[in-house]
């Protein structure tokens, strides 16, 4: 039963003079409904193939539960997510499943508008079977478009874009945006690819010898046509892909060990690749968002990038070029101070250094960074970072005094409704507002977090994103002020 009293979030919203835009809610798809839509894409004879492809997915629970404890140990099978959806709070569970109920309850959550991300759709782009991957994304997009069409005034779903090749990404972008009318998209943060030399020599080991393609540095393909298509269609690439199962997040027994920081890890690798690969240089209007990983990693990445750039420009590298070493002086110092190390030092000092390929010495070449402010301009305006309401690190995004370049990073509010870390949907906005109450951020910062930054993200390539929505007038007013 719903209480007749105002929820904590509704109370907070009633005090605000601006809308609250949620840039990352989650929808729980009906699996049978998805299968019905899948049948319309590839035909009726699909269930066994689909379930097999799903089970072999690198993050599928079946691949863990189907093994004995000894097999999990021997194969280092990553502990799968479990108990991830609301159950005791039945109303919240139903709210994440039924768009009509979600629409009716948005005021309780203190939300004026929400962008809904998937459940099944988080996994679909990772399927290795190309036909099933593309068919699954196509079916899910058709499903989302139909389910949310009547609630577009306050809710919009994202389209799921597979990224294994630029061609499949562009084809699904065209379908999702042009044909279905979806105005927000979610792309896979990376593609797992086999190491070709190992695949050729040891095919049985190929599934375990993988590298992560993040579309920028050293990618298998040129993904510039994908970013160009995003600009053409007016959609911001957003990324929301699991990072558990990688490196230090592959416990065979502990889900929390694998989960903590995993979205941040996948986002950091992708953001670093896009930035250092020069994507924001070549596409100056592009805006990208990395969801559910917070902003702490972004603050660190910006700081580290600045520090590394200052020490590793082409000019600065002269300090470390072996050709610059004065070996005569070094040998003299060795004779005077080396003692028992003198003889060994002579051999080391006189040894020829390994030659470096002159075309590979400028790690910052794709960015074409000419100065400190250049680096800032290629990073800060282009990247947006989804932060949940209970994340206190979010406040650091607005701490210009301590951030490089006195920058205010583009944190955007993501409620994460529909997932286990939201025990009560009625409290999501009030929980986010606690940063103001605790004096971690100002009212102006909070406005940027839940309104200004989301508007910049979603309208950056499409000024009409909020046309016909409940926040249309407020967005128009904000854009007119810029």
Q: How far is it, in rounded angstroms, from Cα 28 to Cα 24?
A: 13
pLDDT score of 115: 98
pLDDT band of 352, cuts 50, 70, 90: low
Both structure tokens of 123: 């996994």
| 371 pLDDT higher than 80 | yes
Of the ranges 178-182, 207-211, 251-255, the best mean pLDDT one: 178-182
- pLDDT mean over 416-425: 93
pLDDT score of 102: 98
Q: Phi and psi at residue 92, in whole multiples of 5°? A: -65, -40
pLDDT score of 455: 98
| DSSP type of residue 355 | P
- Residues composing the chain: 482
Scan for tokens 């951030």, then name that residue: 403
Provide DSSP, 190-225. -EEEE-HHHHHH-GGGGGGSEEEE-SSTT-SS--HH
What is the tens place of the pLDDT at every residue in 434-460? 999 999 999 999 999 999 999 999 999
pLDDT score of 357: 80
126 and 210 Cβ atoms separated by less than 8 Å: no
Q: Residue 120 to residues 5, 26, 60, 147, 258: CA-CA distances in angstroms?
A: 34, 10, 11, 15, 19
pLDDT score of 349: 63
| DSSP type of residue 79 | P
Q: How far is it, in rounded angstroms, from Cα 396 to Cα 375?
A: 20
pLDDT score of 340: 79
- pLDDT mean over 408-422: 95
What is the tens place of the pLDDT at every residue in 259-270? 999 999 999 999
What is the tens place of the pLDDT at every residue in 187-242? 999 999 999 999 899 988 888 888 999 999 999 999 999 999 999 999 999 999 98
Both structure tokens of 233: 């269609």
pLDDT score of 7: 96
| 411 pLDDT higher than 50 | yes
Q: How far is it, in rounded angstroms, from Cα 306 to Cα 461?
A: 28
| 1 pLDDT higher than 70 | no
Region of 165 (left: φ > 0; alpha: ψ -120 to 50; beta: rest) is beta
| 348 pLDDT higher than 70 | no
Other C-beta atoms lying within 10 Å of the C-beta of residue 274: 25
Question: Residue 114 is inside which H or E element, if any?
Answer: strand 113-117
Beta strands in 27-143 (DSSP E): 113-117
Per cent of the chain over pLDDT 90 is 70
User: What domains can you pick out in the chain, each with its CATH number?
Assistant: 8-311+380-481 (3.20.20.140), 317-353 (no CATH)
Q: How far is it, in rounded angstroms, from Cα 403 to Cα 380?
A: 11
What is the tens place of the pLDDT at every residue in 301-310? 999 999 999 9
Q: How far is it, in rounded angstroms, from Cα 284 to Cα 377?
A: 10
**Average predicted confidence (pLDDT) for the chain:** 91
| DSSP type of residue 402 | T
User: Would the CA dihedral through 336, 342, 343, 345 be positive or negative?
Assistant: negative
- pLDDT mean over 114-131: 91
Q: Which residues contact 441 (CB under 8 A, 6 or more apart)?
A: 394, 395, 398, 435, 449
What is the tens place of the pLDDT at every residue in 19-76? 999 999 999 999 889 988 988 898 877 666 776 665 544 444 557 888 899 999 988 8
Q: How far is it, in rounded angstroms, from Cα 439 to Cα 272?
A: 32
pLDDT score of 69: 92
Both structure tokens of 56: 């072999």
Q: Residue 56 to residues 30, 66, 225, 416, 458: CA-CA distances in angstroms?
A: 21, 11, 30, 27, 35
146 and 33 Cβ atoms separated by less than 8 Å: no
Q: How far is it, in rounded angstroms, from Cα 445 to Cα 150?
A: 33
300-330 per-residue burial string, b: 16 or more CB within 10 A, e: under 16:
ebbeebbeebeebbeeeeeeeeeeeeeeeeb
pLDDT: which is higher, 333 or 476 = 476
Q: How far is it, in rounded angstroms, from Cα 54 to Cα 51?
A: 5
pLDDT score of 342: 76
What is the tens place of the pLDDT at every residue in 277-289? 999 999 999 999 9
Q: Residue 78 to residues 21, 120, 194, 313, 358: CA-CA distances in angstroms?
A: 35, 19, 19, 40, 42
Report helix angle 224-233 to 166-173, nearest 10.
Answer: 10
- Residue 80 CB burial class (10 angstroms; 0-12, 13-18, ≥19): middle
Q: Are strands 184-187 and 155-161 parallel, antiparallel or unpaired?
A: parallel
- pLDDT mean over 449-474: 98
| 410 pLDDT higher than 50 | yes
141 and 161 Cβ atoms separated by less than 8 Å: no
87-120 per-residue burial string, b: 16 or more CB within 10 A, e: under 16:
eeeeebeebbbebeebbebbbbbbbbbbbbbbbb
pLDDT score of 57: 45
């Amino acid at each position: 039963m719903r209480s007749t009293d105002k929820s904590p979030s509704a109370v907070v919203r009633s005090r605000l003079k601006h809308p609250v835009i949620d840039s990352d809610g989650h929808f729980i798809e009906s699996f049978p409904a998805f299968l019905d839509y899948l049948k319309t894409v590839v035909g009726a004879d699909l269930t066994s193939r689909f379930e097999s492809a799903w089970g072999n997915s690198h993050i599928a629970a079946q691949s863990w539960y189907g093994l004995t404890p000894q097999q999990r140990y021997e194969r280092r099978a990553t502990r799968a997510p479990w108990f991830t959806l609301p159950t005791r709070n039945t109303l919240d569970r139903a709210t994440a499943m039924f768009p009509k109920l979600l629409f009716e309850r948005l005021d309780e959550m203190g939300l004026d508008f929400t962008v809904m991300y998937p459940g099944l759709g988080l996994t679909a782009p990772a399927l290795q079977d190309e036909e099933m991957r593309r068919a699954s994304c196509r079916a899910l997009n058709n499903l989302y478009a139909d389910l949310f069409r009547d609630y577009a005034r306050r809710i919009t779903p994202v389209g799921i874009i597979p990224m294994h090749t630029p061609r499949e990404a562009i084809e699904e972008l065209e379908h999702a945006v042009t044909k279905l009318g979806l105005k927000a998209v979610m792309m896979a943060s990376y593609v797992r690819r086999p190491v070709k030399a190992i695949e050729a020599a040891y095919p049985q080991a190929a599934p375990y010898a993988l590298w992560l393609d993040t579309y920028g540095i050293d990618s298998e393909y040129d993904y510039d046509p994908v970013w160009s298509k995003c600009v053409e269609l007016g959609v911001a690439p957003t990324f929301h892909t699991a990072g558990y199962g990688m490196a230090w997040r592959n416990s065979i027994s502990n889900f929390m060990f694998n989960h903590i920081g995993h979205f941040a890890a996948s986002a950091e690798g992708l953001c670093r690749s896009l930035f250092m690969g020069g994507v924001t240089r070549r596409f100056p209007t592009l805006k990208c968002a990395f969801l559910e990983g917070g902003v702490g990693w972004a603050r660190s990445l910006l700081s580290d990038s600045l520090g590394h750039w200052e020490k590793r420009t082409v000019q600065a590298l002269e300090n470390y070029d072996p050709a610059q070493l004065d070996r005569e002086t070094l040998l003299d110092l060795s004779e005077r101070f080396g003692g028992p190390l003198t003889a060994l030092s002579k051999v080391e000092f006189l040894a020829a250094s390994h030659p470096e390929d002159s075309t590979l010495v400028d790690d910052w070449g794709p960015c074409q960074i000419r100065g400190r402010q250049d680096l800032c301009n290629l990073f800060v305006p282009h990247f947006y970072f989804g932060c949940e309401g209970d994340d206190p690190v979010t406040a650091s995004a607005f701490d210009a005094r301590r951030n490089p370049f006195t920058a205010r990073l583009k944190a955007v509010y993501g409620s994460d409704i529909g997932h286990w870390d939201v025990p009560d949907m009625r409290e999501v906005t009030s929980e986010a507002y606690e940063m103001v109450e605790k004096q971690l951020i100002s009212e102006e910062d909070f406005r940027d977090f839940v309104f200004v930054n989301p508007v910049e993200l979603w309208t950056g390539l499409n000024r009409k994103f909020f046309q016909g929505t409940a926040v249309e007038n407020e967005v128009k007013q904000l854009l007119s002020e810029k």
